[in-house]
Amino acid sequence: MSDQVSDQQLGDAVLESVQHGSFPQSEHVASAELSPATLPKLLDIVGKAREEKKTQIRQISREAASDVDGWIAQARQLQSDIQRSQETAQEIIKQAESGKEKTAHVQDAVSKVGFLHSEIAYNESLVNVVEQLKDISTLLESAQEAAVNSHIIHALERLEDAGAAFKRLGPFENARVAGLLKTRSSELRTAIAETVTEAWNGLVIVDTTDRSISLKEEVVTGTTIHIDTVVEALIKLGTFDKFVTRLSRDMDSVIISPRLTINTEQLVSALVIEGDNAQVDGHVSDMSVKATLEDLQAIAEYISTRLPPSVATPLSEKLVPTIATRLINNWLLPAVPLSTTDVPSFQEILSLVLGIVEYFDELGWSGQNRLSDWVDKSADIWLARQKEVAIARVQRLFPRRVQDKKTVERVETQTITKGDALHTEHTENQHVPEKEEEADDWGADWGEEEPAKEEAKQPAEDLEEEDMSAWGMEEEENQEDKKSEPNAAPAEEDAEDWGADWDDEDTKPATAEPPSKQPSQPSQNPLGKAKPPKPTSAEEVITLREKYTVTAIPDSIIEIILQVITDITTLNSTDLASAAITPASSGLYAIPSLLLAMYRATAATHYSRDIAANMLIYNDCTRLCDRLRTLLHSLSSSSALPLHLHPATHLTNPLTADIKAIETFANRAYGREMESQRTIIRDLLDAAQGFEKCTTAPFSSECDNAVAMTIDRIADVKKAWQPVLSPSVLLQSLGSLSATALGKFITDVENMDDISVDESGKLHSFTVSLSTLSQLFIQPHSSEEEDESEPRDLAHLYIPNWLKFQYLGEILDSSLADIKFFWTDGELSLEMEPEEVVDLVKALFAESDFRRKAVAEIRRGK
């Protein structure tokens, strides 16, 4: 322990810790060390502190002694009060127990009194129920007596009273005695219903064997019963509607249906009404609607005179709608006129239908609204019928007329100016100077930009003849440009791959395009669009003619359209202006568009049997567009019809849209066929596998077969298309297919990195073989001045890549010097790009100074 900490300080720290739980604040005291010698001193200090605390407690106890005595006295008083409260509570509990017994006696007495009252009430109600049951029994006895005496209505009334009395029984309604009375009532009701049914069957006699119905007013069953009594009884029994329904069904099956239904032998049963009997017997001789309506009126009169209104009126609600349905389906709809000559008789039929509707109204019948509505809608029904018949006629006509083929001629009038090749040929029959040929507007309109460079060096006489042979393709497009009426469909309407190129076809033919960009349809310029301009002194009008094959479908469609216009004119004439269907005559103008839409929708099916189906579709669409344009031109002439009914007012816009749709449809058909043939040609050449191993067996034979089959395929296509297409379209189509084959071959050769001498010779032989395709484009001279024994080869006009292909063949069989000569002094630069020639040179010749110089010179250009 530190010398600075005294025993007293340590003792005080211990006391503070014991009394207050505090820790010494002095660092010296807290860190002091306790030795065994200090413990007695600490115990001394703690003992003194304990004695002091005891003394303080004793002093406090003496001072508070008086207060503690008072508290003890109050506690004892409280304990005494609690004991008295407990005794009082026990007394109260005893008194409560005795009150419960008295309450139980009172409640028992009350319940007995209530039971006595309920017994008295029950006895009184029982007496009342017994009296009611007695009354019910009396009513049932009265009803039975009335039924026995054939007083049916009185018996039913008593039963109704008994039924009301049963409901007043309240809880006793389910008692056994009440059940017995109900059973008796039900039996009486059943017996009366049987009697009424027997009476009804005696009044309404239906014989399905003899197909006759007999209606009577009274029937004798012990006593005479009138039909009104039977009807009233049926109504009270709740079975009247069932009997009326059965009667309407019997009337329809026995009388109405046989008279209004035409059987498979086109016969109708005859109606015979004699007295109370109506019978179907034999067959009618008059199959007119008028006779049918007269018989219906006779049936209505028969029913209304032999049945009371209480039966006839509800019967009409069920019978008239059936009559209306059968009459409309079997007689009125077939009577709708298909020809304008039948309109007056149809108008008379409508008047007769209105007459029978008025007759039904006079009888107070209901259900004839359908007949009156049919008359009101007769114009719309007639119009719908005309559309149905027109479509049905087309459906029947197409399969037959597609077999009828004929050759038609397309006549084209063209104005040419001085300097044109055709002008020179028809006037002076001279050669056109080279400069004039290059600036020839006619050739420019045909789009012969690239071939013109090569042909500029040819005699003008050849160019004139070649251009003349191609008039059906290029000249038509030239006239299209002059008229500013594009004939091709919008690009967004073409779903085929070729559609993107078709928009350029109106102004630019396909001959200048590479095979990959060839349009899939020939140019076309329908007739009748505009009259040729009046020629000036420097102009000449020439007429070009070309024939192609079509079916009888286009002319048949035009015949139907012309008949529609004639019918509208006839319906609005003075004689038929007041007819009910005349207001709907303008709706006939929708038929042409329907027929043309029907043609587009079904053409693929009807033409499918022909080997050149798509080309026939193309020709027919061309013919149809020509006829429609001629028709539109003729519609602008005067007409007897008012302006709002004038054909030009209703048909110009629809037919113009239809012409565009048909042209689009034709282009798609042509495009599908061309793309199909191109695919076949590509597949055939793909068998050569790029001609990479054309000298190695067995690949060499595959290459030979691929080339031979391609040539044969194009020749077969010509045989199939030649009887159908016009010469110009045929040549253009074959040119496109040939361009595909040559383009495929050119691409394969250009993709070869190395071509040996043997491969070069083999590839050259393939070019020679493919060059025989030019035989498909040999045409006789058209000029009388030329020797017709010398045919013309037009392959370079119709095959865009023909010259390029010929140069490729020369390159494969030529030396490096020859190739360089072709490039510098020949026309090779017009057909191939420098890099194309360079790649071929690198593939054909080994690396050398001569090859490097030749490549450099080719890249520099001429």
pLDDT tier for residue 809 given thresholds of 50, 70 and 90: very high
> Are the C-beta atoms of residues 442 and 422 closer than 8 Å to each other?
yes
Q: For the segment 729-759, what is each residue's pLDDT rounded down to a tens digit?
A: 999 999 999 999 999 999 999 999 899 999 9
402 vs 557: CA distance, rounded Å: 12
What was the pLDDT predicted at 798?
Answer: 93
Averaged pLDDT score across all residues of the chain: 78
> Are the C-beta atoms of residues 836 and 750 closer than 8 Å to each other?
yes
pLDDT tier for residue 717 given thresholds of 50, 70 and 90: very high
Put simply, whether the predicted model's pTM sits higher than 0.85 gets the answer no
Query: Which residues, 6+ apart, have CB-to-CB distance to 185 below 8 Å?
Result: 140, 143, 159, 162, 163, 166
Domain count of the fold of the chain: 3
Find the mean pLDDT for residues 136-157: 75
Is pLDDT above 90 for 716?
yes
Find the mean pLDDT for residues 117-122: 78
Indicate whether 779 belongs to any domain: no
- Do 190 and 72 fall within a single domain? yes
What was the pLDDT predicted at 781?
Answer: 60
Find the mean pLDDT for residues 337-344: 87
> Are the C-beta atoms of residues 568 and 586 closer than 8 Å to each other?
yes
- Do 46 and 147 fall within a single domain? no
What was the pLDDT predicted at 97?
Answer: 78
Is pLDDT above 50 for 470?
no
What was the pLDDT predicted at 636?
Answer: 67
360 vs 320: CA distance, rounded Å: 9
292-301, 602-611, 616-625, 782-791: which range is least confident on average? 782-791
- Do 106 and 48 fall within a single domain? no
Residue with token string 């290459």: 703
Look at residues 376, 395, 419 and tell me which one is the last residue of a structural domain.
376
> Are the C-beta atoms of residues 515 and 615 closer than 8 Å to each other?
no
14-28, 86-100, 187-201, 451-465: which range is least confident on average? 451-465
Residue 182, burial from CB neighbour count under 10 angstroms (0-12, 13-18, 19+): middle
Indicate whether 573 belongs to any domain: no
Instruction: Identify whether 698 is preceded by a cis peptide bond (ω within 30 of 0).
Output: yes
- Do 23 and 72 fall within a single domain? no
- Do 252 and 333 fall within a single domain? yes
How does DSSP assign 175-226, residue by residue? Answer: SHHHHHHHHHHHHHHHHHHHHHHHHHHHHEEEETTTTEEEE-SEEEESEEEE
780 vs 797: CA distance, rounded Å: 15
What was the pLDDT predicted at 454?
Answer: 37
What was the pLDDT predicted at 459?
Answer: 34
Find the mean pLDDT for residues 334-363: 90
Find the mean pLDDT for residues 76-101: 82
Find the mean pLDDT for residues 825-846: 90
21-30, 287-296, 784-793: which range is least confident on average? 784-793
More confident residue, 49 or 795: 795
The two structure tokens encoding residue 723: 């009887």
More confident residue, 783 or 140: 140
- Do 254 and 197 fall within a single domain? no
The two structure tokens encoding residue 726: 């016009």
Look at residues 359, 376, 393 and tell me which one is the last residue of a structural domain.
376
Q: For the segment 218-259, what is each residue's pLDDT rounded down to a tens digit?
A: 877 667 788 888 888 888 888 889 999 999 999 999 999 999
Is pLDDT above 70 for 564?
yes
**Percent above pLDDT 70 for the chain:** 81
Q: For the segment 580-592, what is each residue's pLDDT rounded down to a tens digit?
A: 888 888 888 899 9
> Are the C-beta atoms of residues 526 and 655 closer than 8 Å to each other?
no
Indicate whether 815 belongs to any domain: no
**Percent above pLDDT 90 for the chain:** 29
The strand pairing partners of 548, in sequence order, are 408
Q: For the segment 621-641, what is each residue's pLDDT rounded down to a tens digit?
A: 999 999 999 998 888 666 677
What was the pLDDT predicted at 222?
Answer: 65
Indicate whether 411 belongs to any domain: no
What was the pLDDT predicted at 544?
Answer: 78
What was the pLDDT predicted at 522?
Answer: 52
Is pLDDT above 70 for 461?
no
**Angle 591-606/378-401 helices, nearest 10 degrees?**
30
What was the pLDDT predicted at 711?
Answer: 95
Is pLDDT above 60 for 678?
yes
- Do 20 and 91 fall within a single domain? no
830 vs 826: CA distance, rounded Å: 9
Q: For the segment 413-429, what is each residue's pLDDT rounded down to a tens digit?
A: 767 665 454 444 443 33
- Do 133 and 55 fall within a single domain? no
Nearest to 471 by CA among 433, 509, 500: 509
| Radius of gyration of the chain, Cα coordinates, nearest whole angstrom | 59
Nearest to 524 by CA among 656, 615, 625: 625
- Do 49 and 84 fall within a single domain? no
Look at residues 181, 202, 223 and tell me which one is the last residue of a structural domain.
202
The strand pairing partners of 225, in sequence order, are 219
Find the mean pLDDT for residues 359-375: 89
Indicate whether 111 belongs to any domain: yes
> Are the C-beta atoms of residues 7 and 42 closer than 8 Å to each other?
yes
Residue with token string 């304008």: 340
> Are the C-beta atoms of residues 114 and 122 closer than 8 Å to each other?
no
Other residues' Cβ atoms within 10 Å of the Cβ of residue 817: 10
Is pLDDT above 70 for 376?
yes
pLDDT tier for residue 571 given thresholds of 50, 70 and 90: confident
Residues 260-285 as b/e (b if ≥16 CB within 10 A, e otherwise) read: beeeeeeebbbbeeeeeebbbeeeee
pLDDT tier for residue 593 given thresholds of 50, 70 and 90: very high
What was the pLDDT predicted at 98?
Answer: 75
- Do 316 and 369 fall within a single domain? yes
Indicate whether 742 belongs to any domain: no
Indicate whether 318 belongs to any domain: yes
Which domain range does residue 53 map to? Answer: 7-63
180-184, 204-208, 315-319: which range is least confident on average? 180-184
672 vs 677: CA distance, rounded Å: 9
- Do 281 and 341 fall within a single domain? yes
List Cα–Cα distances, 629 to 308, 408, 528, in angstroms. 68, 16, 6
What was the pLDDT predicted at 173?
Answer: 67
Indicate whether 36 belongs to any domain: yes
What was the pLDDT predicted at 458?
Answer: 37
Strands (E), 491-567: 539-551
- Do 52 and 72 fall within a single domain? no
More confident residue, 612 or 470: 612
Find the mean pLDDT for residues 537-553: 81
Is pLDDT above 50 for 440?
no
